[in-house]
Structure 1
Amino acid sequence: MNTKRWAVDKYVDGQESYPQISQAADFLINNEVVAFPTETVYGLGGNAENDEAVAKIFAAKGRPSDNPLIIHIGEKQQLDGFVEEIPAKAKQLMKAFWPGPLTLIFKKKENKLSNKATAGLSTVAVRMPDHPVALAIIKKANLPIAAPSANRSGRPSPTTAEHVREDLHGKIAGIVDAGPTGVGVESTVLDCTATIPVILRPGGITKEQLEAVIGEVTVDPALVDSGQAPKSPGMKYRHYAPEAPLYLVEGTKEFIQKLVNEKKEEGLSVGVLTTEENKDFYQADFVFACGKRANVESIASSLYDVLRNFNHTEADLIFSEMFPNEGVGHAIMNRLMKAAGHRVIKS
């Protein structure tokens, strides 16, 4: 398949009048799949009402069929077409955080969306992205768009069009390139069908921010205990992983260097994932800084890019520092734990 690539400037007004936007929307209307940027990561979009389009998303990604897709909308009114009801707390959150990196789970109307998109569940996950290009494409297509991250399943999510090309060139119809994304980690997923809303995936909106708007919010126990079965089907799979085995290290940078030295003595090439503050300390074969520890948002925005950078090295294994597990740091550690397969070395 020839993968078309459109370059657009996200800072220019009147996105919907761009021919590139119209062409990408036409592809979606014709049930092709197209990658486009959101404020979190690049998404792989397809018509959520059409089984054929949704099947193309799963095929391109190699995604398990029991892992439902998030539906992206350009206008809040679109919810009326496929959601049974909008709880009062969800309305408050939509007012506070939409458009933005927050996915809300609702009870769905039957026979309105492809069952493949919702993996046959009675619920549907929806968000409105806060990116002018994404919104322009969705509005132009005038469809609910199913859009998981635009990468091969299991690999780090894409934050640039080049990341998408690396994974999906020749497998999808097109890529809309509007430069790097912003937040870097995916949206927070919140189940609004429960009496007390439940976070199923931490992301760009923190628990504290949610509670400031609607009061008590709980967290899926599986997010803090790997022995628990996750409520969100997709969270049971390994995600975000670089090609070399990744190990999280709970200890000082001196302890991490000791581990590096031991592996180098065994003849292995070793990588270290750290931050700007510590990058000059490590004596390893490959050292990549992932933002600044003093600015957790910078870690989130560069995390996937750094994980992908290791794939362009000859590292046999990677040691990663741990980060504060609070606020956006909760999302960062969730992604790193998944990428490492919950492998943690303690000093």
Structure 2
Amino acid sequence: MANATELLQADAAGYAAASAIWSAGGLVAFPTETVYGLGADARNDRAVARIFEAKGRPRFNPLIVHVASAQAARRYVEWSDAAELLASVFWPGPLTLVLPLLADAGLSPLVTAELPTLAIRVPAHPVAQGLLTEFGGPVAAPSANPSGRISPTTAAHVLAGLSGRIEAVIEGGACAVGVESTIVGLVGRPSLLRPGGVPVESIESLLDADLVRHSADDPLVAPGQMQSHYAPGAPVRLDARERRAGEVLLGFGPVDADLNLSPSGDLVEAAANLFGHLHALDSRGAPIAVSPIPETGLGRAINDRLRRAAAPRDERLPG
């Protein structure tokens, strides 16, 4: 267990230090274009177990493996024509593919929660690319936050939640996309397992087919599928047209709000601001009301996160 969490810089020395920590079985948080991830060597059982320990994450919830390229991904999963098409357009980027795990993949079974599939992606963030290239192996990385809480989009968010529990975090600035990756299942008919940083419409247009939708009652097959998730400490009220007494308002569009995801109604800007604004409002200790968000494009991912943030808190809360 780490004693003091080191803040590493995004340079050659920082990449080498992070790679050495991973090789020794330690944990390093790092930026991706979506959120900061809490990384460990995906082949090391003890290292992966420490992710669950540091986050307080239930062991039944699988992890996403990050690699530097589609070529690297093929070492761990059964590739398909649909995977090739999606990867050719959206990788590197905020898309995770769930594919059958190869028998000789060599990954810790904790990564997949002993499922026969693996969630894998190639991040686009230059720091993530630099780290993965330096390390040269698969990195398991859920969001770098205590389980079930608001996802981190800055190194400061990571330190606020995990300082003293992990070896290091590498400073990479604020995450540009701001919501987690879209997860598409490619076992059987292509299915949407989680909306995210790639709009569903873009994926369906490329595949020339509608994605199968999954409900909250379906078995867990990918990260981020629990009903209660991404939660601030304060209660959250959705589709708020006004601020009630004692509430703070997270706005969208031309509304009078304590913080506004995008005064102009830009969903890309709103997604980038979502978790940072939730962190800031949660620090005020008041209930959070949220303006209505359109259910189109990145609005699907924003609303998915907000519905999970507002869900009843008596459920298990994976990160």
Number of residue pairs aligned between Structure 1 and Structure 2? 309
Alignment of 1:341 onto 2:292: no
Matched residue SS, 2:110: coil
Letter in structure 1 aligned against 2:149: R
How far residue 249 of structure 1 moved from its aligned partner, in angstroms, is: 2.6
Q: TM-score, normalised by structure 2?
A: 0.92
> Cα RMSD over matched residues?
1.7
Moved over 3 A (4+): 230-234
Alignment of 1:243 onto 2:237: no
Alignment of 1:157 onto 2:151: yes
Alignment of 1:319 onto 2:289: yes
Alignment of 1:47 onto 2:41: yes
Q: Name the residue aligned to 1:99.
A: 92
Q: Distance in 2 between matches of 1:303 and 1:164?
A: 16
How far residue 29 of structure 1 moved from its aligned partner, in angstroms, is: 1.1
Q: Distance in 2 between matches of 1:48 and 1:219?
A: 29
In structure 1, the gaps of 5 or more residues are 9-14, 281-286
How far residue 162 of structure 1 moved from its aligned partner, in angstroms, is: 0.2
Letter in structure 1 aligned against 2:221: S
Letter in structure 1 aligned against 2:299: G
Alignment of 1:232 onto 2:221: yes
Give me the identity figure in percent. Answer: 38
Matched residue SS, 1:236: coil
Q: Distance in 1 between matches of 2:285 and 2:205?
A: 46
CA contact (8 A) 1:101 1:186 kept: yes
How far residue 82 of structure 1 moved from its aligned partner, in angstroms, is: 1.8
Letter in structure 1 aligned against 2:131: I
Once the two structures are superposed, residues 284-330 of structure 1 have per-residue CA deviations (whole angstroms, 9 ceiling, x without a partner) of: xxx22122352111110000011111221131x22111200111100
Q: Name the residue aligned to 1:284.
A: none
Letter in structure 2 aligned against 1:213: L
Once the two structures are superposed, residues 13-40 of structure 1 have per-residue CA deviations (whole angstroms, 9 ceiling, x without a partner) of: xx5xx11111111111111010000000
**Paired residue for 1:191, among 173, 185, 192?**
185
Flag the structure with larger Rg.
1
Once the two structures are superposed, residues 136-191 of structure 1 have per-residue CA deviations (whole angstroms, 9 ceiling, x without a partner) of: 11111111000111001111100000000000000000000011010000000000
Once the two structures are superposed, residues 20-67 of structure 1 have per-residue CA deviations (whole angstroms, 9 ceiling, x without a partner) of: 111111111111010000000000000000101101111111111010
In structure 2, the gaps of 5 or more residues are 314-319
**Paired residue for 2:267, among 281, 296, 303?**
296
How far residue 231 of structure 1 moved from its aligned partner, in angstroms, is: 4.7
Q: Name the residue aligned to 1:211.
A: 204
Q: Distance in 2 between matches of 1:136 and 1:217?
A: 35
How far residue 77 of structure 1 moved from its aligned partner, in angstroms, is: 2.1
Q: Name the residue aligned to 1:67.
A: 61
Letter in structure 1 aligned against 2:237: Y
Alignment of 1:6 onto 2:8: yes
Letter in structure 2 aligned against 1:56: R
**Paired residue for 2:276, among 297, 301, 305?**
305
CA contact (8 A) 1:207 1:217 kept: no
Q: Distance in 2 between matches of 1:239 and 1:120?
A: 22
**Paired residue for 2:299, among 322, 329, 333?**
329
Q: Distance in 2 between matches of 1:305 and 1:242?
A: 11
CA contact (8 A) 2:179 2:271 kept: yes
Q: Distance in 2 between matches of 1:137 and 1:233?
A: 24
Q: Name the residue aligned to 1:86.
A: 79
Matched residue SS, 2:60: coil
CA contact (8 A) 1:190 1:197 kept: yes
Q: Distance in 2 between matches of 1:233 and 1:131?
A: 22
Q: Distance in 2 between matches of 1:342 and 1:273?
A: 20
